[in-house]
Amino acid sequence: MPKVGTVAVHELARVIGRTEHEVLDALDAVGFTARDGQSPVPQAIAERVTQRLQQDRPRSQKTSGDGAGADSAATGAGEWVELVGPDGSPQAILARFNPEESRRVLENLTRTELELGHVPHGGNVGPAVVDHLAKASPFVLAGLQGGQVFKVVGTPSLLSGLRDGTMTLMSTSEGALGTVLQRSSGKIAGQLRFAQASLAPVVTPLLAIQIFHGIAGTTQLSKINARLDGMQRSLERGRIRQEAETLGNVRHALRVLNDILAERATTGTFSPDMLMRLARVEEAIGSVVERNLILIEEVRQKLQTIAQRSGKDGAVHAAAFLNEEGPQAAHDMQLLIAVMRADCRVEEARLYYALEHAPTDVERRLARIREKTLEYSRAIDSFPMLGELQQHARACVEEMGWWERNLTARGVVREVERAATLPLTSAPRQSAAKVSEASHSYVFWQDPDGQIHVKLLPEGDGRNCG
């Protein structure tokens, strides 16, 4: 197998659409000796040979789509190899479009927003990930030198299906990749299949794995209900005048956060100005999260104490708490859920920034997201259930004797009845819903000036990007 930073002669010949003999002759012409098709060629030499052969290509072969001299589009849309971790576990599929399909993909990605009506990519990704992949695999190195476009796409089930032959990757005539079909379901007219390359699975560099996991993380976070409709409705029922400053700060922070994410979706980049605004949003939202966690923990402890009381004493304390503090406690729990969701959107924005500007920080950001998700799930699971306290108050009344209920403690009974009718809707004790598996993806290529471009594709493009 060729050393890191080299490409085999036969691989280089396949990428640039020439025979091994032509490549060997070109290598001799530039002063580099190679014995056969398996001989490794350094990157710098491969680039010189590629330029030389492309300049010497007959005009009939430069025109794609006609005749035997066209590129490899006639044999399929491209090839794919499996990306695995150091332990051999599957991570993703690395697909390489053939030259003609690469051209179509780039045309599609560079269409203007005016033509499409939306931005054709989900944002930028740091190019360092491509450097690591290129050093790890001649499959990548040769393709970049030949101007081909790569796409990283996949999930464990997709990888399993491709490996055992029950699934296949397909590409449309627009250069879209990611259509995963069961082989038994038949063919789709107008689509080209990707063939598995005759290469061993590529051991994915750590940074590439982190980037891919980071993209998966953005998809999972985007699935969280961040519209906060429930919070907006609860704010109208809550005691707004008592905490107008807090609620005003939260509302303003949410507007700024939505604007930041909308700007990134429109421009495809995360600017330093957006990062500064995000820091202020994070501070405002984080302070409310911590404030309400403290308030709700105090409520939980009070309810535990009241739950230990019984009879008239328990009914008195339960009714007093429910009537005096119950509505505010329910409001605090609803607000906490809302700001926790907003905090997850902050983490999503931070992850976008790391993917573009600090790829080595992606793993740390993912660890932080996992920690917060666990912390918030535990907080929701331990929420005090006000409905249970209402039931406890009624049970305490039942424990009282007839004489107390109907004569000496009639006022307590009325307070319990009033408390039982309060619409105290607290949060359900359940963790966040499981996120369904999706095909996360990004594309990368090298332009004629040697600059690497990497684009994160929006959710759904793993199935039909374009």
Q: Collapsing DSSP states into helix, strand and coil, what is residue 103?
A: helix
Q: How far is CA 351 from the centre of its chain?
A: 9
What mean pLDDT, rounded, does the chain reach? 79
Tens of pLDDT, residue by residue over 10-21, are: 878 877 778 888
* Contact in structure between 83 and 202 (CB atoms under 8 Å): yes
Measured between alpha carbons, how far is 264 from 253 in angstroms, rounded to an integer? 17
The pLDDT score that the predictor gives to residue 104 is: 83
Range in 118-122, 165-169, 399-403, 425-429 with the lowest mean pLDDT: 425-429
- The mean per-residue pLDDT over the stretch 216-237 comes to 55
Measured between alpha carbons, how far is 51 from 37 in angstroms, rounded to an integer? 19
| Distances, alpha carbon 374 to alpha carbons 274, 292, 352, 378, 432, in Å | 27, 17, 21, 6, 9
Range in 23-32, 93-102, 239-248 with the lowest mean pLDDT: 239-248
* The pLDDT of residue 68 is above 50: no
* The pLDDT of residue 44 is above 80: no
- The mean per-residue pLDDT over the stretch 32-52 comes to 82
Confirm whether pTM is higher than 0.75. no
The pLDDT confidence band at residue 430, using thresholds 50, 70 and 90, is very low
* Contact in structure between 303 and 311 (CB atoms under 8 Å): no
Query: What percentage of the chain reaches a pLDDT higher than 90?
Result: 30
Measured between alpha carbons, how far is 209 from 83 in angstroms, rounded to an integer? 9
Higher pLDDT, 51 or 268: 268
- The mean per-residue pLDDT over the stretch 69-76 comes to 39
Tens of pLDDT, residue by residue over 144-153, are: 988 999 998 8
- The mean per-residue pLDDT over the stretch 26-42 comes to 86
The pLDDT score that the predictor gives to residue 186 is: 44
**Residue 201 tokens, joined:** 């699975």
* The pLDDT of residue 462 is above 80: no
* The pLDDT of residue 114 is above 70: no
* The pLDDT of residue 227 is above 50: no
The pLDDT score that the predictor gives to residue 209 is: 86
Tens of pLDDT, residue by residue over 392-418, are: 999 999 999 999 999 899 999 999 999
Range in 105-109, 119-123, 230-234, 443-447 with the lowest mean pLDDT: 230-234
* The pLDDT of residue 367 is above 60: yes
Q: Phi/psi at 89 (nearest 5 deg)? A: -75, 140
Closest CA to 465 of 31, 186, 57, 93: 93
* The pLDDT of residue 431 is above 60: no
The pLDDT confidence band at residue 217, using thresholds 50, 70 and 90, is confident
Q: Which residues contact 33 (CB under 8 A, 6 or more apart)?
A: 27
* The pLDDT of residue 280 is above 60: yes
- The mean per-residue pLDDT over the stretch 28-50 comes to 83
